[in-house]
Structure formats: C-alpha cells, structure tokens
Chain A
Amino acid sequence: MPFFTQLAHHFLPEVILAAGVLALILIGAWRGERANALVSESAVGVMGLALLAIVLSSHSDASVFDGAYVDDAFSRFVKVVTLVASMVTILLSTDFMRRAHLDKFEYPILILLATLGMLLLISADNLIALYLGLELMSLALYVVAAFARDDVRASEAGLKYFVLGALSSGMMLYGASLLYGFAGTISFTGIAAVVSGSAPIGVVFGLVFVLAGLAFKMSAAPFHMWTPDVYEGAPTPVSAFFASSAKVAAVAIMVRVTLTAFPAMTSQWRQIVVFLAIVSTLLGAFAAIGQTNIKRLMAYSSIGHMGFVLIGLAAASEEGVRGIAIYLVMYSAMTLGAFAAILTMRVDGKPVENISDLAGLSRSRSATAFFLAMLMFSLAGIPPLGGFFAKYYVLLPAVQAGLYPLAVIGVLASAVGAFYYLRIVKVMYFDEPAPVFDPSSRTVGGILALSTIFLLFFWVYPAPLMDAASAAAKSLF
C-alpha cells in the first residue's frame, strides 16, 4: 500500500490530531493570551473530527507502515473511549483552569499531544512504536501534572511522576532489548512466531521488565506508589485525565502485548497478571478506607479498578478481552463523573477536597448529591448500574478459565470497597451540613448528569456497546 494511502485510510485520526496540534500552536503563538478559549474549543473540535474519522472509516483491519501500527476493531474501540475521555477532560478543565489562573493555550495542546501519544500506543504493533507512543503520552502528562508551577504540591507531583516514570521507561526499554536480542525482530507477531512455551530465561526476563513498565503506567500495585500523591497534587481536571484516558491507553497496550506477542507464554505471564490483580484489588479496597481526601480516595479506587481489569486479562480469552473493553467504558464514565462532582466542590471560590466537606450535600445541592451517590453505587458495583456489569463481565471469564481463587478475591475486595464508597453516600445524606458549595458551571454539571444517566440506564439497551466490545475482542484472537 502506498504511504499516503496508508495515512489516509488507517492513520487518519492520528494525522488529524497531529495537524491540529501544529495549527493550534501557531494560533496560540500568534494571538497569545487572547487565543485561550479559541484553542481550547478547537482542541475539542479536533478530537471530535478524529472521532468521526474512526466512526466513519471503512472498518477494514490492516497492518500499516511495515507492521509498525495496526488498525483493528480493538484499537478503534479503545481509541473512541480515549478520545471521548480526553474531550470530556478539556470540557471539565476550562472553568477550573480559569479560576486557578492556569488558563494558557498550551494546556489543551499538551492534552492533544498526550491523546495523540495514546492513540499511537493503542495501535502500536512493534516495540519501537510502543516506546514512542508511551513516551509521547508520558512526556505530555509529566508537564500537565506540574502545570500549576507555582503550587508546591503540583510541582512535587510532576517531579515524582517524572522520576518514577523515567525509571519505569528504562526498565521497559531494557526488557524490550532482551526481547529483541532473543527474537531478532521488534514486531509483536514476529516475537510471537519464535517464542514457545518453554522460552529461555532471557525472554521471561524481558517479558517481566516490559510488563513491570506497563503496570507502572496503568498504576497496578505494587507499581502504584506515585498514584495517590500525583492525583492529590495535580490540578483536579488533570487528575481526571490521568485516571481516565491515560489508564485506558495503558490497559490497551498491556492487553495487546500479552495477547499478540506472547500467546504461547500464557501460563508464564498469567502468574504475573494474577499477582498484580490480587495486590491491586486488595490494596485498592483496604488502603482507601483511611483516606480523608477525596482525590486520594479516587486514586486508590482507580488502583482497585485496574486490579479488576487485570482479572479479565488473566482469563486470557476472548470473553475476558470483551469484559475489559466494557470495563474501560464503564470505568471512564464513572471516573469522569466522579471528578466532575469533585470539581463542583468549591466554597467561597476556593476548591475543597475533603470528604467531610461533602457533609449534608443532599440538603444544599440535592441533584449533585444524587448523581454522586449513584456514581458511588456504580463504583461499588451495585446492580443494575454500569459498574456492576463491568465487574460481572471480567469475573465471569476468570471463573470460566478456572481462576476461582482470583475471582473470589475480586468479589471480596469489591465488598470491602463498597464500604468506603457507601461512606461517602452516608456523609452526604446523613451528616450535619458543611458550608454550602458555590454554584458549579453548567458544563461540569452536565457531564456529571450525563455520565450518571449513562450508567443508570445502560442495562435498558446494552446491545450496541456489547456488540462493539465483542467485535473488538474478536480482532485480537
């Protein structure tokens, strides 16, 4: 296929984002401060265009640029989730960044660049593509984490994330070099062709290093140490971005590496994934109990949810990947909704972040309290909300694969986790009222309402999402 045909037919979303970034930088550099709102809105528009390019594409699977990237149903599905989450992030940011005097035109551009890195990561089909996508995403994320550069906590968050991120990238690169040394090729399918069940120790080492690097990016325990500090320190919309888009992309590449590059070594990587899953779900459940800051609580909650995603991966089956695809959608909706609720927490113009600040919210802001309560029920996995189906569809394949202890631990961790989610509901509905929150912006309220409505009524008409998830899972096997 000629180069430009490949670009136009299978690489269009990435091309749109890259061209959009370059155009918006020019506009920003030319118009300066006056361009902030324009660049922010255009960034959402550019992502919308990329979304359209995916939805309206011919949906034909292809491997492009000499096997560097792959365009399949799985990558298209995850890209749609990532793009929607990134768009919502920018919409959530506008009001917060303006009030915090952080409204610079570079912010939406960095979000766009990170999203571009995520798209490249999701469809990466060899080790160099994987690394470049990961670095493009991470580099932009380090900067947005420290975007509030005069705030000590934000700077600390950015620095911490940068140092640990560089370490994990180094480990992953080392693992990749071992894999290349063994296989003599960087392509995932090429590695899969030469790796067998009784692989030499060097390959196992390479696999462990690569998985450790990826587990860091998706903040699965025991590689989660940075998560609570970064979520707490970074500006709230940035934390929402970290918890949604960035994790979705990291999960996608984890799934692709394990399933397309190492199908013959399932029993070896399953041990690692099962270990990560058990530690993450338990840590997410127990460490969150003592938290008083709601952003830290969301960080531990996200670690627990990554554990559930890994339970689906441990099944190593088509149903497992379908479960992961559904989980990513539900998880993104819940996380973005919850962060939208956190963004409404503002007293006398200053953001507040303690769980106790939510006390008596049902009396002062009954709609927000109701939506947040529903989100908490969904995060806890109570039927018939979306979060329940997400957990159901990852636990079922694990049981079918014979991983009974893992599934039991998942259910138990979910029950423990329900405690701290329900505590927030209790604080909002039964405690003595705290100072009333300021009225929130219409966009933030709208996103909170929309995500809740999606999770509440998903069961009424689940067919489109289920079908898309099934098609996505099928393309990996």
Chain B
Amino acid sequence: MAAVFFYLFSVVLIASAFVVITARNPVHSVLFLILAFCNGAGLFLLQGAEFLAMILIVVYVGAVAVLFLFVVMMLDVDFAELKQGFQKYLPAGAAVGAVVLFELAFVAVNWQSAPTAHEAAAVPILAQVTNTAALGEVLYTKYVIFSQVSALVLLTAMIGAIVLTLRHRPNVKRQNIEEQNSRTAKSVVELKKVPSRAGV
C-alpha cells in the first residue's frame, strides 16, 4: 500500500515540477508548484516525518507560494521576455544537465556509507516520541547556538530588505492619531450665520 502511494506521490511530484517550468501562464506555474509541495509533503509523511510534512505545507504552501502568487499578480513582469533566451541556451544547458545527471547517477549507484554512519546518525525511536518533541529536545539544548545564529541571519535579511526598498517620500498623507484625537468641534467646525434670501 505504501509503495502505491510512494509512486503516486512521486509521479505527480515530478510531473507537476515539469509543468512549473514549461507552463506558459506564470499563475499556472505557481499553482503546479503548490501541487508539487503537497506531494512532497505526502512523501515525507510516508517516511514518518510528519513535522517536516506539516512545515512544508504551512511554510512553503501557506507563505512562500502565496507570496509568489502575489509577486506574479502584482508586479508587471514580462515572462515572455524572460524566456527569450530559452531556445538559445537550451542545448548548452541540457548538455550540462545531462553530464551532472550522469555523474549523480554514478554516485547513487556506487553509494557507500561509512560503517559507523548508521550508528553515528542514530535517531530516536519514532514509535516512542513524536517528531516535534524529538526536534524540540535538541533544537533548544544541543543546537541552541544554531537557532540563535539563524535568528541573526533572519534579522540581517529583514534589515537588508528595509534598507534596499524603503523610501521615505515627502508629502505622503499619513494617519496622525495624536492630531486626530486632539481635534475638537471648536477648532474644526466653523459656524456661519446665513441670512435668508441673501446667500453666503
């Protein structure tokens, strides 16, 4: 049964990844990317990695892919122009890709792990502890320094994004709450006595 699902997820994953590249409409590309992510999550589930599966759905489908959709729809990117060199570079790219694929296949066929590798990479028994608990136990103890450094990497990304894109434009109307709250009827409403039949 697991084998059936494995091949189902794998085939759909590869097929949708292919469509991501070839689809003419960029919105279709993003939608197929989401399909690919969902199938990847299915493969993780089959391996018993439920935490990674959920992260893939929540972060990649929920945040990254939706962001892609926003970018595709909001920005006026001319995808036809981006694809212009595609035909020209296809032969060279395909040649490099074929060589790398052959080499990687060679590595995979001749794969050999160190005799101690299985023992060194020991994982907790999955029947006794959930993924989330097992990750939490090492992430905030043994690897706490890495989570702190990752936080600094994210901080850098945030500062970078602000520095490169934020522009303070003059004459932009902003909400000034203090000003709003201090408005009174006396200061903003002017009463005028309009005599009848005379106009202002």
A and B pair up: yes
**Chain A residues with a Cβ under 8 A of chain B:** 3, 18, 21, 25, 65-66, 68-69, 104, 106, 109-110, 113, 116, 120, 128-129, 132-133, 135-136, 139-140, 142-143, 146-147, 149, 158, 178, 180-185, 190, 194-195, 200-202, 205
CA–CA, A132 to B121, complex, Å?
Answer: 21
Q: A106 to chain B: which residues have CB within 8 Å?
A: 159, 162-163
Residues of A within 8 A of B160 (CB): 110, 139-140, 142-143
CB-based nearest A residue for B157: A139
Contact partners of A120 in chain B: CB under 8 A: 149
**Chain B residue nearest in CB terms to A191:** B114
Whether B152 pairs with A202 at a CB distance below 8 angstroms is no
Q: Is B112 an interface residue (CB 8 A)?
A: yes
For residue B63, CB closer than 8 A to chain A, the reply is no
- Cβ contacts under 8 Å, A109 to chain B: 159
Q: Do residues B149 and A132 form an inter-chain contact, with CB atoms below 8 A?
A: yes
* CB pair A184 B118 closer than 8 Å: yes
B2 on interface, CB distance cutoff 8 Å:
no
Main SS of the interface on chain A? helix
Measured CA separation A129–B160 after assembly (Å): 22
B142 touches A (CB below 8 Å):
yes
Interface on B for A, CB 8 Å cutoff?
Answer: 103, 106-107, 110-121, 142-146, 149-150, 152-153, 155-157, 159-160, 162-164
- Taking a contact as CB atoms under 8 Å apart, the answer to whether A18 and B152 are in contact is yes
Interface pairs (16), CB distance under 8 Å: A66-B142, A68-B146, A113-B156, A128-B143, A132-B150, A147-B163, A180-B121, A182-B113, A182-B114, A183-B114, A183-B117, A184-B117, A184-B120, A185-B117, A194-B117, A200-B110
CA distance A21 to B159 in the complex (A): 11
The answer to whether A182 touches B117, judged by C-beta atoms less than 8 angstroms apart, is: yes
Tell me which residues across on chain A come within 8 A of B144, comparing CB atoms: 3, 65
What's the Cα separation between A133 and B106 when bound, in Å?
A: 32
| A139 to B113 alpha-carbon distance, docked (Å) | 33
A25 lies within 8 A of B159 (CB) = yes
A345 to chain B, nearest CB (A): 27
| Additional 11 contacts, C-beta under 8 A, given A183-B120, A200-B112 | A65-B144, A66-B142, A113-B159, A132-B150, A136-B153, A143-B159, A184-B118, A194-B117, A195-B114, A200-B111, A201-B106
Nearest 5 pairs between A and B by C-beta? A184-B117, A184-B120, A143-B160, A184-B121, A194-B114
Which of A104, A142, A201 touches B107 (beta carbons < 8 Å)? A201
- CB contacts (< 8 Å) of A146 on chain B: these are 164
Complex contact A202–B107 (CB within 8 A): yes
Question: With A178-B107, A185-B121, A200-B111 in contact, is A194–B116 under 8 Å at CB?
Answer: yes
CB neighbours (8 Å) of A200 from chain B are 110-112
- CB pair B107–A205 under 8 Å, yes or no, is yes
Please give the distance in Å from B113's CB to the nearest CB on chain A.
6
What is the bound-complex CA distance between A3 and B142, given in angstroms? 10
CB-CB nearest in chain B for A110: B159
- Contact across chains for B107 and A113 when beta carbons are under 8 A apart: no
With both beta carbons as reference points, the residue of chain A lying nearest to B117 in the complex is identified as A184
List residues of chain A with CB within 8 A of the CB of B156: 110, 113, 136, 139-140, 143
Cβ–Cβ contact B110 & A113, under 8 A: no
C-alpha gap A113/B163 in the complex (Å)? 14
Closest chain A CB from B36 CB (angstroms): 18
Q: Which residues of B contact A66 (CB under 8 A)?
A: 142-143
B111 x A136 contact (CB < 8 A): no
Partner of B149, one of A25, A136, A178, A180: A136
Q: CA separation between A139 and B164, bound complex, in Å?
A: 13
The answer on a CB contact under 8 Å between B117 and A143 is: no
User: Could you say which residues of chain B place their CB within 8 Å of the CB of A182?
Assistant: 112-114, 117
Cβ–Cβ contact B113 & A143, under 8 A: no
Q: Shortest CB–CB separation between residue A51 and chain B, in angstroms?
A: 20
**Are B106 and A132 interface neighbours, CB within 8 A?**
no
Q: Which residue of B lies closest to A146 (CB)?
A: B164
Nearest Cβ in chain A — how far from B124, in angstroms?
A: 15
Q: Which residues of A contact B103 (CB under 8 A)?
A: 205
Flag if B146 contacts A184 (CB, 8 Å): no
By a CB distance below 8 angstroms, the chain A residues around B149 are 120, 129, 132-133, 136
**Nearest chain B CB to A416's CB is how many angstroms away?**
32
Q: What residue of chain B has the Cβ atom nearest to residue A67's Cβ?
A: B142
Name the one of B107, B113, B119, B152 contacting A136, with C-beta atoms under 8 angstroms.
B152
Set of chain B residues within 8 Å of A202, measured between Cβ atoms:
107, 110-112
> B112: nearest residue on chain A (CB-CB)?
A200
Question: Most chain-A CB neighbours within 10 Å: which of B143, B157, B160?
Answer: B160
| Bound-state Cα–Cα, A328 to B160, Å | 29
A104/B163 contact (C-beta < 8 A), A68-B145, A68-B146, A140-B156 known: yes
Report the bound CA distance from A3 to B103 in whole Å. 44
With a cutoff of 8 Å between Cβ atoms, the chain A residues found around residue B157 in the complex are: 139
Q: Chain A residues with Cβ under 8 A from B153's Cβ?
A: 132, 135-136, 139
In the bound assembly, the distance between CA atoms of A181 and B118 in angstroms comes to 9
Interchain CA distance A120-B118 in the complex, whole Å: 29
Bound CA–CA A116/B148 (angstroms): 13
Bound-state Cα–Cα, A178 to B163, Å: 37
Would you call A149 and B121 a contact (CB within 8 A)? no
A136's nearest neighbour on chain B, judged by CB, is: B153
Contact of A110 (CB < 8 Å), options: B113, B114, B163: B163
Taking CB atoms, residues of chain A closer than 8 Å to B115 are 194
Q: Which residues on the B side are within 8 Å of A65 (C-beta)?
A: 144-145
Residue of B nearest to A132 (CB): B149
Chain B min CB distance to A88 (Å): 22
Known: A136-B152, A202-B107. A143 touches B164 (CB 8 A): yes
Which residue on A lies nearest to B164, using beta carbons? A149
Instruction: Give the residues in chain B near A180, CB-CB below 8 Å.
Output: 121
Residues of chain A within 8 A of B155, CB atoms compared: 21, 113
